[in-house]
A and B are shown apart, each in its own frame.
Chain A
Amino acid sequence: MAEDCSISELEAKASRCRGEILRMTHRASAGHPGGSLSETDILVALYATKMRVDPANPKWPDRDRFILSKGHASPGMYAILEEQGFISKEDLKSYRVMGGTCQGHVDMKWTPGVDFSAGSLGMGLSYGIGCALAARFDGSERNAYVMLGDGEIQEGSVWEAAMAAAHHELGNLKVFVDCNRIQNDDFVENQMRMFDIAAKWESFGWAVREIDGHNMQEILDALDWFDGVGNKPAVIVANTVKGKGVSFMENNPAFHGAAPNDEQLGQGLAELGLIQ
């Protein structure tokens, strides 16, 4: 359930999550730290202050849904689920391990608290529409939150969904775009220029707000703004830094899908203030 948290408490929680992201990918010698680190502040604020969920009853039918459409950034998801008590520290060690709770990409059949099995980009927003429509049919106030990547929104299916959500006036559908400016091979700018992302969503009939996705106060304000947009679907276009918090990963496409080695883990944890 939503807690009351001060900014400094949220920031400390985010640092702990970042530490776990480094440890998980380091242990697995694989995985996606960059996009996990960029989404972390938003996940922390969302789960700590907004999400109506119950770790003791993760399948509670009337819970809010959170759909990590960029499902490769699963370490970020597992870290916040551990913080909130859905899974244990021991579970985090099973990331990418045979039989483990924490699969390579988020998977609703394997991990309590995961609402959608992702890994193939461009699917989560349509799924979110389904969840939002179901809430409406049920007469429920619950929300569907979706996290998209800025590379991911190159998928045409995202825009089919964007159109449908506005058409069906889904005010209970709340989306984040993690604009960290990097995708798999390279910078977004070099792979497929997206031009004005906010203007695109606006022209599709969405309520749009642009924020600094690492400024906790701006994130909290934007989450409150979500609640007042009425019958339009709403999107927060979050300007973020891929690899945020770990100097050698920041703005570095190489750490989209590469794990830190022993030395890098130590340096990263030190930079996060988690070890001396």
Chain B
Amino acid sequence: MSDMAATRDGYGQALLEMAGDEKVVVLEADLGKSTKSVIFRKAHPERTISCGIGEQNMMLIGAGLASSGYKPFASTFAIFTERGFEQVRNGIARPNLAVHICGSHGGTHTGTDGGSAQSIEDLAIYRTLPNMTVMHPSDYLSAMSLTKQCLGLSGPSYMRTARNKTIKLYSDESEITIGKANILRHGDAVAIIACGVLVGESLEAAEALAAEGIEAMVLDMHTLKPLDNEAINRAVDTCGCLVTAEDHSVIGGLGGAVAEYVCANQPVPLEMVGVKDRFGESAQSDEMLEMMGLTSKHIAAAARRAIQRKENN
């Protein structure tokens, strides 16, 4: 058994498993083989709609379908969903139509395709839209579970998946719920709140910290919106300082979301691990994480800084 799998495969598999609901339709923009909606297309070509290389078109076709009682799941690369951003804003989010958008290949982890393909702002922009649920699962099973739960949403959603395989963190028994963070590790010195690819890195960082006698709590904040404020409150109460970790710009993403909440409620030292206001470039995934300062080593260093600041207070 492999303990590695890609979240995009979890998305594709979920589509297939939802096919029993005849209202589920899948929209593609010439990247079905990459986003993995091809898994659904192979079994249900009649319910798979090719929109050509036309992301703006795809978003609004989804809106029309949703308004007519269908349950559209539209996918392309995270970066190319952004081509249709205003269509999503005015055609989907404003009328609150339940179109479910999946942006695959998000983040710098995407690798050698380079800066033009590495979306580092998708979570930030979709988070600004009223009615939108925004998710970024960390592993195969949680991606599958969260995708299926979209059927229970009354409004639109955006989910970022990743291109490359990541470690499996959950089992079939795990409870994964939209809007509820999962505590993957308990600790009281610092709470690391992470999403996506960096959840695995955060667990590694926690191991390294434990070797120094520092017990870190690790939260998988797979849903950025609605943010699990209660989980943040508990993390703040228990640990008194926070680290956020994401393969995304430090502006407006998970770090931004947590900072907005914590500053307005219970200010504590917060260190943000993320892409520091720059674009990516071509390199292998592990090289990118290193270049952008997103590895377990960087997360552990941020944790030590957060603890230091707490102690200085």
A interface, CB within 8 angstroms of B = 28, 30, 71, 96-100, 103-105, 107, 110, 117-122, 151-152, 154-156, 183-185, 190-192
Contacts and interface: CB of A to CB of B under 8 A. Distances in A.
B214 interface: no
B113 A119 contact: yes
Contacts of A98: 281-284, 287, 291
Given A97-B282, A98-B291, A185-B32, A107 B114 contact: yes
Contacts, number: 87
A192 B51 CA distance: 7
A119 B32 CA distance: 18
A132 B53 CA distance: 26
A154 to B, nearest CB: 4
Contacts of A118: 116
Contacts of A183: 30, 53
A154 B114 contact: no
Nearest to B53: A154
B57 interface: yes
A186 to B, nearest CB: 8
A184 B34 contact: yes
A104 to B, nearest CB: 4
Contact of A96 (B52, B79, B112, B115): B112
B33 interface: yes
Nearest to A96: B112
B56 interface: yes
**Can you list the 8 inter-chain pairs with the closest CB atoms, starting with the nearest?**
A119-B116, A192-B52, A98-B283, A154-B52, A104-B114, A96-B112, A154-B53, A104-B113
29 contacts: A96-B282, A97-B112, A97-B282, A98-B287, A99-B281, A100-B282, A103-B115, A103-B281, A104-B114, A104-B282, A107-B114, A107-B115, A107-B116, A117-B116, A118-B116, A119-B113, A121-B53, A122-B53, A122-B83, A151-B53, A152-B53, A154-B52, A154-B53, A154-B54, A156-B57, A184-B30, A184-B31, A191-B53, A192-B53
B79 A185 contact: no
Q: Interface of chain B, helix or strand or loop or mixed?
A: loop
A118 B117 CA distance: 10
A104 B33 contact: no
B181 interface: no
Contact of B53 (A107, A117, A119, A155): A155
Contacts of B38: 185
A97 B83 CA distance: 27
B50 interface: yes
A100 B281 CA distance: 9
Contacts of B140: none
Contacts of A104: 112-114, 116-117, 282
Number of chain B interface residues as a range = 20 to 34
Contacts of A152: 53
Given A120-B79, A154-B53, A156-B57, 16 more contacts: A28-B112, A96-B282, A97-B283, A98-B284, A98-B287, A98-B291, A99-B283, A103-B114, A103-B282, A104-B112, A107-B114, A119-B113, A120-B116, A184-B31, A192-B52, A192-B53
Interface of B: 28, 30-34, 38, 50-54, 56-57, 79-80, 83, 112-117, 281-284, 287, 291
Nearest to B57: A156
A252 to B, nearest CB: 14
A192 B53 CA distance: 8
Contacts of A103: 114-115, 281-282
Given A120-B83, A185-B32, A30 B112 contact: yes
A185 B282 CA distance: 23
Nearest to B281: A103
Given A156-B56, A184-B30, A184-B34, A192 B116 contact: no
A176 B80 CA distance: 24
A97 B52 CA distance: 31
A185 B30 contact: yes
Contacts of B287: 98
A227 B38 CA distance: 45
Name the residue among A98, A99, A100 with the largest chain B CB count within 10 angstroms: A98
A71 B54 CA distance: 17
Contacts of B53: 121-122, 151-152, 154-155, 183-184, 191-192
Residue in A105, A107, A120, A185 whose Cβ sees the most chain B Cβ within 10 Å: A185
Given A120-B83, A154-B54, A192-B53, A185 B28 contact: yes
Contacts of A105: 113-114, 116-117
B290 to A, nearest CB: 9
A191 B80 contact: no
Interface centre among B34, B56, B282, B287, by most chain A C-beta atoms within 10 angstroms, is B282
Contacts of B34: 184
Contacts of B114: 96, 103-105, 107, 119
Contact of B116 (A71, A100, A122, A155): A71
A30 B114 CA distance: 12
Contacts of A185: 28, 30-33, 38
A192 B282 contact: no
B75 to A, nearest CB: 12
